[in-house]
C-alpha cells in the first residue's frame, strides 16, 4: 500500500513545484512567445517520440540545445542548434522566442544561436513546436484561433546537422538557392562541424561526400528511377519497407526516404568516420544497415603518417617510429591530425648521423610526389636521402617513387596481398625502431647491452600497451560502432562468477550475465588460450564491425593475459535446435515462423558472404548456431571465429570446421571451400525446419528414410508435400511455401557447388521476388536413398574425419 501511494505523493510534489514555475510548467510540445527553456527542462513531441533540451555529449562539459529520441534507451541526438557555440551553464542560458525568432542566449544573455529570420512585427505570435517525427518547426498562427492556417517559418528538417531523418528532404531550393548539407560532428563528443559533408551535386542528379569542403571521394551515382546507381544496398532496403523519392522540378530538387512501417526506427548520418551510414534500432542498439564508402577509402582518414587497416578495430595506427599527434582526439576517433615522429630527423645537421630508412612491406601506396628513373634501390634511396624534404621512397622495376612531407592514405593490406608494396620510410638513425636491430652501434655496445636494450624496448612497449589497456578499461566508453573493453573482474561479477551456463559452442562455453544497466548479455569464454594476441585482435576487430539484424551482435571483449572473452547480445529464445527438436510439444514453432526464420538466416548469410568488407564463410551453419530473439527473429551466431577468406575465394581453409550432417561434400574432397559450403549447410537446415527432426536421426527401421532424400524425391517427382511436414504442425502450413522451401533446399544441397544458388538468390526466392524452378535430385541424396542404414551412417560419420 505504502509502496503504491509513495510515487503518487512524489508526483504530486513535483507537479506542485512546477506549477509555481512561470517558465515552463510541463512537458509541452511547444515553446510559446512568453516561455523560456533552460536547465533540465525539455519539450516533448506530442507522441513522445522526440525530446528537445540541453544535453552534453559524452564526457564533454559543454552544453548544446539538441533533439533526441524520446523512447529509446541510448541517448541519440539527431539535431543540434548551437553546434559551434557551446554554452557552459545550462541553468542560466535560455532558449526563447524573441522578435519572431527562436533564439539561444548564453549566460550573459548574449545571442549565440538563432533561426536568423529577419525581424518583422508580423511574426510576433510565432512559437516553436517539436513534431513527432523529430522536426522542430517555428510556426506562426498556432494557438491563436485565427482562421488562417499555421505557417511554417523555419524547420530543423531544412537545416539538418549530421542526421537525415525519414521524411526530411536533402536537396536544393532553386528559388532561395539554399542547399541542405549534412556535416559530420568533429568527433564523438563534439558536435561542431567536422570534416565530412554529404550534399547534392547540382550538376548531376546525385549525392556526393566531400572532405573539408573540397575533395569529393564518393558519389551515389545518378538517380536510376528507384535507387541511386552507386548504392545497390538501397534495393535491399526497398524490399524491407524503405521508400525512396527523388524530385527535380522548376522550384527544387531533393531526395527523400520514408519507411512504410512507422514502428521502425532508422536514421542516416554523416558519421565522424567519413562514411554515410544507415542505422537501424534493433533490440537495444543501433545497427549499421549499410555504410558507404569503405573506411580506408575515406581520404586522409588516418592523417599524416597514419596507416589504415581494413577490417580492423580501430582502423588507424601510426607507422613504426611515429606516435599519435593528439592523444585526446585520437581517443575520440578523430584521427585526422595523424602521427608525428618520435625522433626528429637528422637531415641537414652535419655533425650527426645520417637518417635511415625503415622497410614497411604489405602496404597500399598513395600517389607519389615525384617519380625518377633509376637502376637500383640503392640509387633510389640516395635520391631520397639527398633531399631533406623527401620522407619515403619505393622502388620497383626501374621506377623510384619519392614522397615529400607528410604521407597520407597509407593502407596496410597484408604481406600476402599481391597489391601490397614495400615503402621505405625515412626515420632518425637514433629512432628506437633501429635499436637492437643494427650491429653498427660500435664495439662498446656488446651483446649483453644489446639484449638489455631489446628488453628495455619490450618493456616500454609492454608498459605502453598496459597503459592503453588500462585507459580503455577505465573509460569503458562506448563509441558508436565500436566495442567495449571489459575488465575480467567485471565480467566475473556480471556473470555471477560464470555460474549460469547457456551452452558450449565450438570455441568455448557461454554464460549469461547482467550488466549494471540491466542489459542481459551472453559472455563467451574462449577456450583456445594458445591463440596469439594478433589473432584475437584480428578476430574481434572483424566481428566488431559486422552488424546486421540477422547476425548476433558483438558488444565487447575482454583480454587479460590468458583470459579471452567475448560479450555478445543475449537472445531470449536461445538457439533454434531447442525449439525445433523439442520433445515437449506444447510450444510448436508455427510454419510462418519457420519460414521467417529461413528467410532471416538467409539474409544474415548474404550479409556475411557479400556485404562485409571481407567475405566471411561461416563454415558451421546448424540449428545450434542460430539464435532467436524475443520475437523469434533469427540471428546467426559464432561467425567470424573461423578463418577469414579473401574475396577471391581461392584459399583453402587450413583448419576445417563444421558439423557432420551439414558438411558439403567438398569438405572431404579437399578442394577450396567457398561460400557455397554454407549454402549446402543451409539447405540441410531447411530440411530440418520442414521435418522438425534432425536429418541424422535414423532409427534402424528408417531404411531409406533419410529425410532430405525423401523430401527431394517428393519435391522433384511430385507427391504429398504437406506429408513431409513436421507432424506436430498437424498439416497447418502454406503448401506453396513448403514446396518453395523444399525446392530451395534441394538446390542448396546439389553436389556440384556451381549448381547451388547464392544466398542472395535464396533470399530473392523466399521473398517471392523470383520463382524457383524444379531442381534435379542431388546425386548424393540418390546414393543415400538406395543405401542401407549402415552405409548411411558411414557416410554421415565419415565427415567427422574433417573435424
Ligand atoms: C506575453 O507577455 C506580454 C507582456 O508580459 C503580454 O502582454 C502578452 O499578452 C503575453 N502573451 C501571451 C501569449 O501570453
Ligand atoms: C556569451 O557569448 C558572448 C559572445 O559569444 C561571449 O563573448 C561571452 O563570453 C559569453 N558569455 C559567457 C558567460 O560565456
Ligand atoms: C476556435 O474557434 C472555433 C469557432 O470559431 C471554436 O469552435 C473553437 O472552440 C475555438 N478553439 C479554441 C481552441 O479556442
Ligand atoms: C558543377 O556546378 C558548379 C556550380 O555548382 C560549377 O561551378 C561547375 O563548373 C559545374 N561542373 C560541371 C562539370 O558542370
Ligand atoms: C581544411 O582546409 C583548410 C583550407 O582549405 C586547410 O587550412 C585545413 O588545413 C584543412 N584541414 C584538414 C584537416 O585537411
Ligand atoms: C513512396 O513515396 C511516394 C511519395 O511519398 C509515394 O507517392 C509512393 O506511393 C510511395 N511508394 C510506396 C510503395 O509506398
Ligand atoms: C513552383 O512554385 C510556383 C510558385 O510557388 C508554383 O505555382 C508551382 O506549382 C511550383 N511548381 C511545382 C512543380 O511545384
Ligand atoms: C588486398 O588488399 C586490397 C585492399 O585492402 C583488398 O581489397 C583485397 O581484397 C586484398 N586481397 C587479398 C587477396 O587479400
For 216-259, what is each residue's pLDDT tens digit? 999 998 888 888 888 877 777 777 788 888 898 999 999 999 99
- The two most distant CA atoms of the chain are separated, in Å, by 98
How far apart are the CA of 209 and the centre of ligand 4, in A? 16
Name the grid cell of 571. 537472445
pLDDT bucket at 52, cuts 50 / 70 / 90 = very high
Per the DSSP assignment, residues forming a β-bridge with 485 are 557
- In this prediction, residue 505 carries a pLDDT of 62
- Which pLDDT belongs to residue 798? 34
Cα end-to-end distance, the chain, whole Å = 62
Q: Ligand 1 pocket: which of 23, 31, 34, 142 to mutate (most atoms <8 Å of CB)?
A: 34
Q: Which ligand has an atom closest to residue 147 CA?
A: 3
Q: What are the cell numbers at 77?
A: 541526438
pLDDT higher at 301 or 262 = 301
Nearest atom, ligand 4, residue 203 CA: 1
Q: Binding site for ATP: which residues?
A: 525
Cite the DSSP H helix spans in 215-348: 233-239, 327-331
Cα 683 to Cα 632: distance, rounded to the nearest angstrom = 20
Binding residues: 525
d(CA 612, CA 6): 52
State the pLDDT at residue 67.
97
* Distances in whole angstroms, Cα of residue 160 to Cα of each of 179, 286, 625: 11, 20, 42
* Residue 610 in this model has a pLDDT that exceeds 70: yes
The pLDDT assigned to 523 comes to 92
> In the structure, what pLDDT confidence band is assigned to residue 40 with cuts at 50, 70 and 90?
very high
338 CA to centre of own chain: 23
Name residues contacting ligand 4 (CB within 6 A): 202-203
- Among 115-119, 196-200, 397-401, 651-655, the range scoring the smallest mean pLDDT is 651-655
Instruction: Report CA(259)–ligand 6 centroid distance (Å).
Output: 10
Under 8 Å between Cβ of 242 and 254: no
> 137: pLDDT confidence band, cut at 50, 70 and 90?
very high
Whose alpha carbon is nearest atom 4 of ligand 8? Answer: 413
What local confidence, expressed as pLDDT, does residue 467 receive?
45
Nearest Cα to 51, choosing from 31, 66, 36? 66
Return the closest-CA partner of residue 112 out of 82, 71, 138. Answer: 82
* Confidence category of residue 784, pLDDT binned at 50, 70, 90: low
Give the pLDDT score at 151: 78
The second-level CATH assignment, the architecture, of 306-427 is 3-Layer(bba) Sandwich (3.50)
Which residue's CA is minimally distant from atom 3 of ligand 1?
34
Tell how far the Cα of 542 is from the centroid of ligand 8, in angstroms.
Answer: 15
Q: How confident is the model at residue 507 (pLDDT cuts 50, 70, 90)?
A: low
Class of domain 161-293: mainly beta
- Quickly state the pLDDT bin for 147 (edges 50, 70, 90): low
Q: pLDDT averaged over the chain?
A: 79
CA–CA separation, 188 vs 487, rounded Å?
A: 23
DSSP 8-state symbol, 747 = H
pLDDT at 709 over 70: yes
Write down the catalytic residue from 620, 629, 638, 726: 620
Rg (CA), the chain: 31
The grid coordinates of residue 642 equal 573461423
Could you tell me the distance, in angstroms and rounded to a whole number, from the CA of residue 267 to the centre of ligand 6?
18
In tens, the pLDDT along 555-565 reads 888 888 778 88
pLDDT higher than 50, residue 468: no
Is residue 106 within 6 Å of ligand 2 at its C-beta?
yes
Task: Give the architecture-level CATH label for domain 21-159.
Answer: Orthogonal Prism (2.90)
Angle between helices 591-606 and 676-691 (to 10 degrees): 170
In this prediction, residue 68 has a pLDDT band, given cuts at 50, 70 and 90, of: very high
Give the C-alpha separation, 709 to 780, whole Å.
9
Return residue ranges of the chain for CATH 3.30.200.20.
478-569
pLDDT for the residue numbered 341: 93
Nearest CA to ligand 5 atom 2: 212
| C-alpha torsion sign, points 327, 330, 335, 336 | negative
Question: Is there a contact between 556 and 547 (Cβ–Cβ < 8 Å)?
Answer: no
Range from 76-85, 135-144, 184-193, 272-281 carrying the lowest mean pLDDT? 135-144
Residue 268 C-alpha cell reads as 542516416
pLDDT of residue 351: 66
Q: What is the pLDDT of residue 790?
A: 40
- The better pLDDT of the pair 461, 521 is held by 521
Predicted local confidence at residue 759, as pLDDT: 93
* The three three-digit cell numbers of residue 411, written as one number: 593502407
- What CATH fold (topology level) applies to the domain 581-798? Transferase(Phosphotransferase); domain 1 (1.10.510)
Kindly tell me if the per-residue pLDDT of 786 is higher than 70: no
Instruction: Give the number of the atom of ligand 8 that is nearest the alpha carbon of residue 647.
Output: 9
pLDDT at 439 over 80: no
pLDDT in tens, 283-339: 677 877 788 898 899 999 999 999 998 766 578 889 988 999 999 888 888 899 999
Structure-model confidence comparison of residues 645 and 435, the more confident one: 435
Region 117-127: mean pLDDT is 69
Which phi and psi (to 5°) does residue 79 adopt? -155, 140
Kindly report, as residue ranges, where domains of CATH 2.90.10.10 are found in the chain: 21-159, 161-293
478-569: CATH class: alpha beta
Residue 78 has pLDDT above 50, yes or no: yes
Buried/exposed 110-123: b ≥16 CB within 10 Å, e otherwise: eebbbbeeeeeeeb
Q: Over pLDDT 70: what percentage of the chain?
A: 77
DSSP strand E in 714-769: where? Answer: none
| The three grid cell numbers given for residue 608, joined into one nine-digit string | 556475411
Q: Which residues contact 454 (CB under 8 A, 6 or more apart)?
A: 436
Find how far residue 422's CA is from the centre of its chain.
31
The CB of 415 under 6 Å from ligand 8? The reply is: no
Q: How many CB atoms lie within 10 A of CB 724?
A: 20
User: pTM for the full model?
Assistant: 0.58
User: Which residue's alpha carbon is nearest to atom 13 within ligand 4?
Assistant: 203
Q: At 151, give phi and psi (nearest 5°).
A: -115, 125
**CA quadruple 206, 209, 215, 219: dihedral, nearest 10:** -40
Strand partners, 80: 66
CA atoms of 540 and 545, how far apart (whole Å): 9
Range picked from 120-124, 393-397, 793-797 for highest mean pLDDT? 393-397
Beta-carbon contacts of residue 370 (< 8 Å; ≥ 6 apart): 401, 402, 404
For ligand 3, the distance from its centroid to the CA atom of residue 147, given in whole angstroms, is 10
Per-residue pLDDT band at 660 (split at 50, 70, 90) = low
Within the chain, all domains assigned CATH 3.50.4.10 are found at 306-427
* Sign of the CA dihedral with 581 first, then 582, 585, and 586 last: negative
Torsion sign across C-alpha atoms 117, 123, 126, 130: negative
620 is known as an active-site residue: yes
94, pLDDT greater than 50: yes
Residue pair 544/530 in contact by the 8 Å Cβ criterion: no
Range name among 6-15, 172-181, 421-430, 447-456 with the lowest pLDDT average = 447-456
Looking at residue 263, the DSSP 8-state letter turns out to be T
CATH 1.10.510.10, the chain: domain bounds: 581-798
More confident residue, 578 or 68: 68
Atom of ligand 2 nearest to the CA of 106: 1
Burial (CB count within 10 angstroms: exposed 0-12, middle 13-18, buried 19+), residue 607 = buried
pLDDT in tens, 513-565: 988 888 899 998 877 545 566 666 666 777 777 888 999 988 888 888 778 88
* Element counts in the chain: helices (H) and strands (E): 16, 42
Closest residue by Cα to atom 10, ligand 5, is 212
Pairing, β 410-412 against β 306-309: parallel
Q: How does residue 441 score in pLDDT terms, banded at 50, 70 and 90?
A: very low
pLDDT in the model for residue 644? 35
Exposed, middle or buried, 300 (CB in 10 Å: 0-12/13-18/19+)? Answer: buried
Q: What is the pLDDT of residues 191-200, one digit of tens each?
A: 999 999 999 9
Say if residues 591 and 733 touch (Cβ distance below 8 Å).
Answer: yes
Confidence of residue 783 (pLDDT cuts 50, 70, 90): low
Q: How many C-beta neighbours within 10 Å does residue 650 have?
A: 9
DSSP classification of residue 778: P
User: According to the model, what pLDDT value does residue 11 have?
Assistant: 40
Mean pLDDT (whole number) for 51-75: 93
As a whole-number percent, the residues of the chain with pLDDT over 90 amount to 37
Are 307 and 320 within 8 A, CB to CB? no
pLDDT at 210: 95
**Is residue 270's pLDDT more than 90?**
yes
- Span from the CA of 146 to the centroid of ligand 3 (angstroms): 9
- Confidence bin at 182 (pLDDT 50/70/90): very high
Query: What is the pLDDT averaged over residues 785-800?
Result: 39
pLDDT in tens, 401-423: 999 999 999 998 877 778 888 99
Residue 591 has pLDDT above 90, yes or no: yes
Amino acid at each position: 500500500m505504502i509502496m503504491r501511494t509513495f510515487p503518487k505523493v512524489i508526483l504530486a510534489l513535483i507537479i506542485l513545484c512546477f506549477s509555481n514555475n512561470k517558465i515552463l510548467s510541463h512537458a509541452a510540445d511547444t515553446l510559446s512567445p512568453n516561455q523560456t527553456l533552460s536547465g533540465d527542462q525539455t519539450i516533448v513531441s506530442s507522441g513522445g517520440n522526440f525530446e528537445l533540451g540541453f544535453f552534453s555529449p559524452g564526457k564533454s562539459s559543454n552544453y548544446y540545445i539538441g533533439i533526441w529520441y524520446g523512447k529509446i534507451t541510448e541517448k541519440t541526438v539527431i539535431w543540434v542548434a548551437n553546434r559551434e557555440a557551446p554554452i557552459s551553464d545550462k541553468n542560466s542560458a535560455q532558449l526563447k522566442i524573441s522578435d519572431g525568432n527562436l533564439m539561444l542566449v548564453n549566460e550573459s544573455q548574449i545571442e549565440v544561436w538563432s533561426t536568423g529570420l529577419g525581424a518583422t512585427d508580423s511574426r510576433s505570435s510565432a512559437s516553436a513546436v517539436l513534431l513527432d517525427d523529430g522536426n522542430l518547426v517555428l510556426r506562426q498562427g498556432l494557438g491563436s484561433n485565427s482562421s488562417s492556417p499555421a505557417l511554417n517559418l523555419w524547420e530543423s528538417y531544412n537545416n539538418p546537422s549530421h542526421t537525415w531523418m525519414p521524411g526530411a528532404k536533402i536537396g536544393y531550393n532553386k528559388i532561395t538557392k539554399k542547399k541542405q548539407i549534412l556535416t559530420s560532428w568533429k568527433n564523438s563528443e563534439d558536435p561542431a562541424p567536422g570534416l565530412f559533408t554529404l550534399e547534392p551535386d547540382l550538376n548531376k542528379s546525385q549525392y556526393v561526400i566531400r572532405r573539408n569542403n573540397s575533395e569529393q571521394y564518393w558519389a551515389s551515382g545518378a538517380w536510376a528511377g528507384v535507387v541511386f546507381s552507386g548504392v545497390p544496398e538501397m534495393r535491399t532496403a526497398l524490399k524491407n519497407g524503405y521508400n525512396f523519392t527523388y524530385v527535380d522540378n522548376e522550384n527544387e530538387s531533393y531526395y527523400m526516404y520514408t519507411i512504410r512501417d512507422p514502428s521502425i526506427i532508422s536514421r542516416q548520418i554523416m558519421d565522424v568516420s567519413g562514411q554515410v551510414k544507415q542505422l537501424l534500432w534493433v533490440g537495444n542498439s543501433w545497427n549499421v544497415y549499410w555504410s558507404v564508402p569503405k573506411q580506408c577509402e575515406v581520404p586522409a582518414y588516418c592523417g599524416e603518417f597514419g596507416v589504415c587497416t581494413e577490417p580492423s578495430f580501430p582502423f588507424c595506427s601510426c607507422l613504426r617510429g611515429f606516435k599519435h599527434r593528439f592523444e585526446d582526439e585520437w581517443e575520440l576517433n578523430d584521427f585526422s591530425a595523424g602521427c608525428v615522429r618520435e625522433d626528429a630527423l637528422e637531415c641537414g645537421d652535419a655533425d650527426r648521423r645520417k637518417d635511415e630508412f625503415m622497410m614497411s612491406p604489405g602496404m597500399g601506396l598513395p600517389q607519389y610526389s615525384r617519380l625518377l628513373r633509376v637502376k637500383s634501390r640503392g640509387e633510389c634511396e640516395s635520391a631520397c636521402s639527398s633531399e631533406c624534404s623527401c620522407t619515403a621512397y619505393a622502388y620497383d622495376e626501374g621506377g623510384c617513387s619519392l614522397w615529400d612531407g607528410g604521407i597520407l592514405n597509407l593502407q596496410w593490406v597484408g604481406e600476402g596481398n599481391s597489391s601490397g608494396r614495400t615503402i621505405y620510410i625515412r626515420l632518425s638513425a637514433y629512432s628506437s625502431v633501429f635499436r637492437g636491430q643494427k650491429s653498427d652501434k660500435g664495439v662498446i655496445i656488446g651483446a649483453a647491452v644489446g639484449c638489455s636494450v631489446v628488453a628495455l624496448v619490450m618493456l616500454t612497449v609492454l608498459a605502453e600497451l598496459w597503459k592503453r589497456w588500462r585507459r580503455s578499461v577505465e573509460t569503458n566508453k562506448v563509441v558508436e560502432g565500436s566495442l567495449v573493453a571489459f575488465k575480467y573482474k567485471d565480467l566475473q561479477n556480471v556473470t555471477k562468477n560464470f555460474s549460469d551456463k547457456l551452452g558450449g559452442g565450438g570455441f568455448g562455453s557461454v554464460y549469461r550475465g547482467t550488466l549494471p544497466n540491466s542489459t542481459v548479455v551472453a559472455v563467451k569464454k574462449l577456450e583456445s588460450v594458445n591463440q596469439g594476441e594478433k589473432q584475437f585482435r584480428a578476430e574481434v576487430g572483424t566481428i566488431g564491425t559486422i552488424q546486421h539484424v540477422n547476425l548476433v551482435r558483438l558488444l565487447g571483449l575482454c583480454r587479460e593475459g590468458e583470459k579471452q572473452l567475448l560479450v555478445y547480445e543475449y537472445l531470449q529464445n536461445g538457439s533454434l535446435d531447442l525449439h525445433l527438436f523439442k520433445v515437449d510439444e506444447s510450444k510448436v514453432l508455427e510454419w510462418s515462423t519457420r519460414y521467417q526464420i529461413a528467410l532471416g538466416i538467409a539474409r544474415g548469410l548474404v550479409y556475411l558472404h557479400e556485404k562485409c568488407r571481407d567475405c566471411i564463410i561461416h563454415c558451421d551453419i546448424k540449428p545450434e548456431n542460430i539464435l532467436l530473439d524475443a520475437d523469434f527473429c533469427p540471428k546467426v551466431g559464432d561467425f567470424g571465429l573461423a578463418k577469414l577468406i579473401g574475396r577471391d575465394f581461392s584459399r583453402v581453409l587450413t583448419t576445417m570446421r563444421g558439423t557432420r550432417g551439414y558438411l558439403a561434400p567438398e569438405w572431404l574432397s579437399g578442394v577450396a571451400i567457398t561460400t557455397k559450403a554454407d549454402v549446402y549447410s543451409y539447405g540441410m537446415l531447411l530440411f530440418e525446419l520442414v521435418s522438425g527432426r534432425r536429418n541424422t536421426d535414423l532409427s534402424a527401421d528408417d531404411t531409406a528414410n533419410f529425410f532430405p532424400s525423401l523430401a527431394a524425391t517428393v519435391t522433384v517427382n511430385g507427391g504429398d508435400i504437406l506429408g513431409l511436414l513436421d507432424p506436430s504442425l498437424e498439416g497447418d502450413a502454406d503448401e506453396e511455401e513448403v514446396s518453395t522451401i523444399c525446392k530451395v533446399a534441394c538446390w542448396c544441397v546439389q553436389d556440384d557447388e556451381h549448381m547451388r544458388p547464392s544466398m542472395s538468390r535464396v533470399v530473392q526466392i523466399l521473398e517471392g521476388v523470383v520463382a524457383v524452378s524444379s531442381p534435379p535430385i542431388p546425386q548424393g541424396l540418390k546414393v543415400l536413398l538406395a543405401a542401407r542404414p549402415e552405409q548411411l551412417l558411414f557416410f554421415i560419420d565419415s565427415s567427422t574425419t574433417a573435424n
